[in-house]
Amino acid sequence: PTREAVAAMLKGTSHSPDEVVARGFMPEGLGVTVRQVAINAVMAGCLPEQMPVLLATIEAYQKFNLNSMLRSTNSFAFMQVVNGPIARTLKMNSGVNAVGPGNQANAAMGRALRLFITNLGGGAPGLNIMAVIGANSNYSFMFAENEEQSPWEPLSVTQGFKKEESTLTFFSGGWAHSGNYGLGTELADVPPDLARYQLPSGAVLIISPQRAEALSRQGMSKEDVRNFLQQKATRPAREMRGSQNQAGNGDAAVQVFKPGTIDVVVAGGDAAPMMQAWHMYRPQTVSIDKWR
């Protein structure tokens, strides 16, 4: 990160280089300035026009206390979804291979988060990051929603923003996923897998445009899909209550997820009706525009 490269990166935002954007960045609770974000952005391979997304990442990261997650022996990771005009401006991938490699914007901005945790938060495996196995989704997990091909309102609107606003939604979780659910599968195949997730605080179903269109033609809104998944993701009461199970009701179906904790995002290409389910929850949505 040469002085010249950092200076160029700082031109991507109107915010002062010395502005404090985090006072307790986890896991070690360190302070972070715009300049420090720019330095790490250079190391991640980002471009100046991507700075507003990266500053929004810092903001969203702090919306929930992630300290225990980072230090957990579970393998927490984070998923970031970008909505709005900036996704097109930055040429983010929301189509074929949306969550895979090959797109500069998705890869570099996603990678920046891991550098933030390491270099700005003081995170180090074996010291304060104690995941026993880890998650490869920690390398980079950022993509844009395929709003152009979606029959439903985008995630940002579901989260209370306007469609013309650019936003970033930050999910926590990430050590497990299910799918692909492709040809020969139905939406009803997904809930039993979701119900087996450890610590079922929430989930995200990534639906390809072709599958989303098929569900829409069946008369299902995005809210209908969310409710269906939540209501059908059940386990026997005896598994939920353990030793507290009372005789005679152990086979009763118990809903694993609370209402509103399963989200739906449309992304991917349209070659097949694919779906992927991810153990991601507690979405935190912030404005990207405020960081321009």
**Section 1-19 average pLDDT:** 98
**Section 171-190 average pLDDT:** 93
pLDDT, one tens digit per residue, over 12-54 is 999 999 999 999 999 988 999 999 999 999 999 999 999 999 9
How many residues would you count in the chain?
Answer: 292
Q: What DSSP letter does each residue of the chain carry, written as one string?
A: --HHHHHHHHTT-SS-TT-EEEEEETTTTEEEEHHHHHHHHHHHT--GGGHHHHHHHHHHHTTS--HHHHHSSS--EEEEEEESHHHHHTT---STTTTSS--HHHHHHHHHHHHIIIIIT---BTTTB--SS--GGGS--EEE--TTT-SS--HHHHTT--TTS-EEEEEEEEEEEEEEE-TT--GGGHHHHHTTSSS-S-EEEEE-HHHHHHHHHTT--HHHHHHHHHHH-EEEHHHHHGGGPPTT-TT-EEE-SPTT-EEEEE-S-SSS--EEEEEEEEEEEEESGGG-
pLDDT, one tens digit per residue, over 239-260 is 875 534 444 567 889 999 999 9
Of 18-22, 233-237, 261-265, where does mean pLDDT reach its minimum? 233-237
- Per-residue pLDDT, 163: 96
The pair of three-digit structure tokens given for residue 279, joined into one six-digit string:
């153990």
Asked whether 121 and 25 are in contact (CB, 8 A), the reply is yes
Residue 165 CB contacts under 8 Å (≥ 6 apart), including other chains: 83, 84, 156, 287, 289
**Section 102-112 average pLDDT:** 98
- Per-residue pLDDT, 251: 80
**Section 218-222 average pLDDT:** 98
Q: pLDDT band for 175, please (50, 70, 90 cuts).
A: confident
Of 27-31, 141-145, 165-169, 245-249, where does mean pLDDT reach its minimum? 245-249
Asked whether 198 and 256 are in contact (CB, 8 A), the reply is no
- Per-residue pLDDT, 250: 75
- Per-residue pLDDT, 241: 57
Look-up: residue for tokens 């990166």? 9
CA distance from start to end of the chain: 21
**Section 190-194 average pLDDT:** 97
- Per-residue pLDDT, 222: 98
**pTM, 2 dp:** 0.94
